[in-house]
Amino acid sequence: MRTDSPQTIYRKNYTPPSFLVESVELGFDLDPARTIVANRIKLVRNRDGKHSDIELHGEHIELVGVRMNGKRLKPGQYTLSEHGLTIRKAPAKVTLDIETVLAPQENTSLSGLYVSNGNFFTQCEAEGFRRITFFPDRPDVMAKYTVMLRADKEKFPVLLSNGNLIEQGELGDGRHYAKWEDPFKKPSYLFALVAARLVCQEERYTLQSGREVLLQVWVEEGNLDKTDYAMQSLKNSIRWDEQRFGLELDLDRFMIVAVGDFNMGAMENKGLNIFNTKYVLANPRVATDVDYAGIEAVVGHEYFHNWTGNRVTCRDWFQLSLKEGLTVFRDQEFSADMIGTDTGRAVTRIDQVRTLRQAQFPEDAGPMAHPVRPDSFVEINNFYTVTIYEKGAEVVRMMQTLVGRDGFRKGMDLYFARHDGQAVQCDDFRAAMADANGRDLKQFERWYSQAGTPVVKAVTQYDAAAQTYHITLAQSCPDTPGQTAKLPFHIPVAVGLLGADGKDLPLYTDGAAGQGTVVLELTEATQTFHFSGVAQRPTPSLLRDFSAPVVLDYDYSDAELLHLFSHDSDPVNRWEAGQRLAMARLLKLTADVGAGAPLALDATFIAAQRALLTDATLDAAFRELALILPSETIIAERMEVVDPQAIHTARQFMRRSIAAALKPELLAQYQANQTPGAYSPDAQSAGKRALKNLALAYLLIAPQAAELELAQRQFDAADNMTDRAAALAALIHSGAPDGAASALKSYFADFEHEALVIDKWFAMQAGAPGTDVAAVRKLMTHPAFTLKNPNRARSLIFNFCGGNPSQFHAADGSGYAFWAEQVIALDALNPQVAARLARSMDRWRRYVPALQAHMKAALERVAGSASLSNDVLEVVSKALAN
C-alpha cells in the first residue's frame, strides 16, 4: 500500500508564475541510453508573481549542473526535490544553464523523451517537458525556443523540431546536427523533437494568400504507400480554416510524424504534429472507412489547434477545454463540411450523440464526474476526458446555436483579436462570444462550472378551440461528487411541430416566428413556451439536432414515435425516434429476462425496421445508423440496477428476431449496396458498405451454410479492409463452430507485418461475446501481443474490459480479477494507459449486488497494491469513495 497521499491541485489556488521565460536554447546529444540535455533559459521576474524564487519542475531526470549568470551554483544555493529545483531569492534578470541526463530507452511511460522502434520522439503535454529538463513547465509560461539536435547520422538521419530549420551539418564523428528555431512563443507542452530513420511524402502548397508552404508527412520506410490520405486531409484542413474562420497557417513548414507507440491519438506540437500511426497510415488494403474518417478528423483536429490551443493557449490545465472543446467542435464541423450534404452532416451529428451517450453521460454520472472546467485534480492526465473534449465541444456548439453561425464567427474573430499570443481561460472565450454579439452569456457559465447531465422534462398541452400549444420544460441536474443543488442551465432547445401529414407546421411563438424549427431558450427551472395558430394537434420534435447535451424526458406514445421516425424533417430526431422505440422495448425485454418471462417482439417494431431498411430514398449511411440498436452500455445507463447478462440476452433476442423476420430484405440490401469498382473512402460509398456490412452481420446471427458462405466469399474477395474486417467480424460473432478459425489464421498471415491490422485482429476477438476471460488470457500469450505498445494493449485488453460486457461481467468475477491484474501490470509500464483501463470500473455501484462485491474486491486489490501511480490511485480511490 502506498503511504504518501497524492496531492490535490485546486483551480482556486492559481498564482501567476514568479518568473517568465524570454528565451530557451536547448542542446540535445541524443543517445538512447544516455542523452545529455543542455538548457539555457533567460528568465525575468514577473511583476504579477508573488515572490522572487525561481521554481523549475523536473522529474525522472538527473541534474548534472546548474549555472546562474555564468556562475556554477553550489548545492546549498538551490534545493532539489523529487519534483523540481528551486532557486531562492533570485535577481530580477537571470540566465540559467542547466545540464541534465536521461535514459530515453528506459522510458516506457511515453511521456517526455522516449524511444519507439529505435527512433526518438517526445510527448510533452501535459507535463512531460519536465522529464526532459528543469523548466517552469506550465502553460502560462510562453517562450521562444531554439533547438540544437546532435545524433548519429546513420541511425538517426532525420532530425526535426518545432518551427524552421536554420542550420544543419556534419560533426565529423559519424554524428550530425540540425538547428531549429520556432518564431512563435509557446508553452513548454508544445515542444517536440524527432530523431529518426524516417522518410516523408512532401508537397508545396499555396495558401489562399498566395504564400507557399512546405507540408510533410513522415513515416517509417515501408509506409510511404499509406500517407496520401493524411496529406490530403492536411490540405483540406488548411483550406477549411481559411474559409470558415479566416485563419491561415502561420509557418512556412508544417510536419506530421507518425509513431507506433503513443498514448493518445495525436499531439499538436507547433509545426511538428506527432501522431499515433493509427491516425496517419491508410490505404484501402489496411484501413477501414472508419479509419479514414478518423484520420481526417484527427489531422484536422491537430491542425486546428495551431490557432485554438497554440496561438491562444490555456492559462492553466483547468482550462483544458478552452482548447480541446473548441478544437473538437472545429474538427466536427470540418468533417461535416467535408461531406457537404445535409444528411451527411446529420450522420456525423448522430455519431457525436452516440459517443456522448456511450461514454460522456456515464462519466458525468459516475465517480469521476467533473465540470467542463474542473475545480481540482490529482493527475492532469486523468482529465483528458470525454467531458473535457466532447461535452466541451457541445458547450461551444450551444454557443453557436445561441448566437448563430455568423455571430459565432464574430466571436471567434474577437477572441483572436483580444488574445492572440496569450494564455487565457474558458471565461475569456465566453466573454468574446457574448461581447461580439451583444448577448448576455452569464448564466451560460454554469455549463463550465456544474458537472452532471441535465434532465429536461417536457410536458405539452394542445387547445383545439384556441389553436394554441404549450410546451412546459422543467430542468434538473443530478448531484455529482462535491456538487449538490445545481442551479438552472441556459439550455437551447430546438423544437419543431409535425402535422398529421408529417410536414413541419409553421411556428408562431412568443418571441419568434420560424419556418420549421425554433430555438427555445430554457433558463429557469420551469418555463412554458406558447405557440399560436396551431391548427391541429401536432407531434412535437424536441431537441432537434441534439441542440443541448441533456437527457430529454418526454412521454411519447408509440404512434408519435413512429410518426417522427418516418417523417421528421430533422434527421437526428428521426434517428432518435427509432432509438426511443428500440429502447422502450429493450428495457421491457431486459425486465422480462430478469423475471423469467417469455420474450416477444411486436410486429409494429419489426415493420418500422423493415420500412427503414428498405427505404431507398434515405442515404445508406443514415439507414445503417438508424438500424443499430442502443448498445448494452447505453441500455445499462437507463437502469437503476444493472444486470449485464439480462441486457445482453434481451438485446441479442431483439437482434435475432429482426434477423429472422427481415432475412429476405437483409439479403436484398446486402446485394443492393455493393460498391463495385476502385475503393474510395467517400461518405456515399462508405455509407453503402456500412449498410451492406450491417446486413451481413444480421444475416450471420444464426447462420446456415449459405450465410457462412456469403461471409467467407466476401472475406476472400475483398479488395479493401472495410469489407474484409466486416466479414471476419461477422464470422467471429456468428459463433458458428470454427466459422472464423481459418479466416482468422489467413488474416493474420496476410497482415503479420501491419501492426494496425493486427490490432484489429485482437480487437475483433476481444469484443466478441464468445470470447471469455480464458480466451483473452490465451491471446495474451500470442507472440504478437505486448502490453508495452498502447495500441496493442487497447486492442485486446480495453476492448475486452470495456467492449464485451457479457463476458467481462462474468458471474464469478473472473473478468474483474483479470482487470485488476492488467491495471497493475500496465501501471508499472505506463501509468497514463493504466489509469484509462482503470476507468472501466467507474460504474461498479450500479450493478447487481453479487457483481458489486466482486468489483469492489478488484478495486480494493488495485488500490492496495504497492507503488501505485498517482494516475491509477486517483481513479480507483474516487471509484471507492463514498
Query: Of 318-326, 397-405, 568-576, 766-774, which segment contacts Zn ion by CB under 5 A?
Result: 318-326
Closest to ligand TRP by CB, 9 vs 224, is 9
Q: Which is nearer to ligand TRP, 121 or 747 (CB)?
A: 121
Q: Are the beta carbons of 41 and 21 closer than 8 angstroms?
A: yes
> By C-beta, is 126 or 434 nearer to ligand TRP?
126
Q: Are 562 and 608 in contact (CB under 8 A)?
A: yes
Whose Cβ is closer to Zn ion: residue 324's or residue 570's? 324
Could you tell me the smallest distance in angstroms from the CB atom of residue 247 to Zn ion?
16
* CB closer to ligand TRP out of 121 and 408: 121
Question: Which contacts of 702-711 are long-range, i.e. CB under 8 A and separated by 24 or more positions?
Answer: 702/656, 702/659, 702/660, 703/734, 703/736, 703/739, 707/734, 708/734, 708/736, 708/739, 710/670
Of the pair 301, 733, the CB lying nearest ligand TRP is at 301
Find the shortest distance in angstroms from Cβ 343 to ligand TRP.
28
Instruction: Return the number of the residue (327 or 348) whose C-beta is nearest Zn ion.
Output: 327
Amino acid in the structure at residue 608: A
Length of the chain: 882
Task: Find the shortest distance in angstroms from Cβ 674 to Zn ion.
Answer: 37
For Zn ion, give the closer residue by CB, 268 or 291.
268
Nearer to ligand TRP, 379 or 637 (CB): 379
From 119-127, 327-335, 493-501, 785-793, give the range in contact with Zn ion by CB under 5 A: 327-335
Q: Which stretch binds Zn ion (CB under 5 A): 235-243, 246-254, 320-328, 824-832?
A: 320-328
> How far apart are CB 412 and Zn ion at their closest, in Å?
17
- Closest approach, Cβ 832 to Zn ion, in A, equals 15
Q: Report whether 403 contacts 437 (CB < 8 A).
A: yes
Q: Which is nearer to ligand TRP, 66 or 312 (CB)?
A: 312
Amino acid of residue 525: A
Strands 19-29 and 142-152: parallel
Binding characters for Zn ion, 275-314, by CB under 5 A (x = yes) = ----------------------------------------
Look at residue 384 and give the partner it binds from ligand TRP, Zn ion, none, a contact being a CB closer than 5 to 8 Å depending on partner kind. ligand TRP
Summarize as ranges the residues that interact with ligand TRP (CB under 6 A).
123, 125-126, 263-264, 266-268, 301-302, 324, 381, 384
Main-chain dihedrals φ then ψ at residue 476, nearest 5 degrees:
-150, 165
3-state secondary structure of 187: strand
Complex with Zn ion: residue 335 or 517, whichever CB lies closer:
335
Q: Which residues make Cβ contacts (< 8 Å) with residue 434, sequence separation at least 6?
A: 411, 440, 441, 442
Tell me which H or E stretch contains 590: helix 571-595
CB of 299 to ligand TRP, least distance (A): 11
> Cβ neighbours of residue 693 under 8 Å, at least 6 residues apart?
722, 723, 726, 727, 730
Write the CA distances from 707 to 657, 690, 698, integer angstroms. 17, 18, 10
Cα 175–chain centre separation: 40
Strands 376-377 and 9-10: antiparallel
Q: Pairing relation of β-strands 9-10 and 54-57?
A: unpaired
Instruction: Output the smallest distance, CB 119 to ligand TRP, in A.
Output: 17
Residue closer to Zn ion, measured from CB, 321 or 327? 327
State phi, psi for 666 to the nearest 5 degrees: -65, -45
Peptide bond before 863: cis, by omega within 30 degrees of 0? Answer: no
Part of the chain binding Zn ion (CB under 5 A), chosen from 42-50, 204-212, 323-331, 660-668: 323-331
Q: Which does 178 bind (CB under 5 to 8 A by kind): ligand TRP, Zn ion, none?
A: none
List the catalytic residue out of 25, 125, 127, 302.
Answer: 302
Helix axes 741-751, 755-766, angle to 10 degrees: 160
> Phi, psi (5° rounding) for residue 494?
-80, 130
Could you say which of Zn ion, ligand TRP, none residue 123 binds, taking C-beta under 5 to 8 angstroms by partner kind? ligand TRP
Indicate the DSSP class of residue 443.
Answer: G
Q: What is the spatial distance between Cα 600 and Cα 650, in angstroms, rounded to a whole number? A: 10
Three cell numbers, residue 599: 420474450
- The option from Zn ion, ligand TRP, none interacting with 217 (CB < 5 to 8 A, set by class) reads none
Q: How many helices (H) and strands (E) does the chain have?
A: 29, 33
Build a one-symbol-per-residue string for 461-480: x at contacts with Zn ion by CB under 5 A, - elsewhere: --------------------
Shortest separation between residue 384's beta carbon and ligand TRP, angstroms: 5
For residues 771 and 808, give the distance between their C-alpha atoms in angstroms, rounded to a whole number: 10
Task: Give the nearest distance from C-beta 327 to Zn ion in angstroms.
Answer: 5
Residues 6 or more apart from 483 whose CB is under 8 A from it? 371, 450, 451, 452
Question: Site for Zn ion (CB under 5 A): how many residues?
Answer: 2
- Partner whose footprint covers residue 433, from Zn ion, ligand TRP, none (CB < 5 to 8 Å by kind): none
One-letter amino acid for residue 756 of the chain: L
Identity of the residue, 301 or 357, whose beta carbon is nearer to ligand TRP in the bound complex? 301
Span interacting with Zn ion, options 201-209, 324-332, 506-514, 548-556, rule CB under 5 A: 324-332
Answer for the pair 536, 500: CB distance below 8 angstroms, yes or no.
yes
Q: What is the DSSP letter of 135?
A: B
CB of 324 to Zn ion, least distance (A): 5
Find the part of the chain contacting Zn ion (CB under 5 A) among 326-334, 404-412, 650-658, 848-856: 326-334
Cα–chain-centroid distance for residue 736? 35
| Active-site residue flag, 302 | yes
Rounded to 5°, angle at Cα 200 from 196 and 205: 135
Nearest distance from C-beta of residue 529 to ligand TRP, angstroms: 38
Which of ligand TRP, Zn ion, none sits in contact with 263, Cβ below 5 to 8 A by type?
ligand TRP
Distance CA 167, CA 161 (A): 12
CB of 111 to ligand TRP, least distance (A): 7
Query: What ranges in 342-445 are assigned the alpha helix state H?
Result: 342-355, 361-364, 386, 392-419, 426-437
Which residue sits closest to ligand TRP, CB atoms considered? Answer: 264
Least separation in angstroms between residue 319's CB and ligand TRP is: 13
Spatial distance between the Cα atoms of 349 and 352, rounded to a whole number of angstroms: 5
The backbone torsions φ and ψ at residue 255, rounded to the nearest 5 degrees and listed phi first, read: -120, 140
Alpha helices (H) along 662-794: 663-672, 683-699, 705-717, 721-734, 741-751, 755-766, 773-780, 790-793
Residues at the interface with Zn ion (CB under 5 A): 324, 327
Q: Which residues are the active-site residues?
A: 302
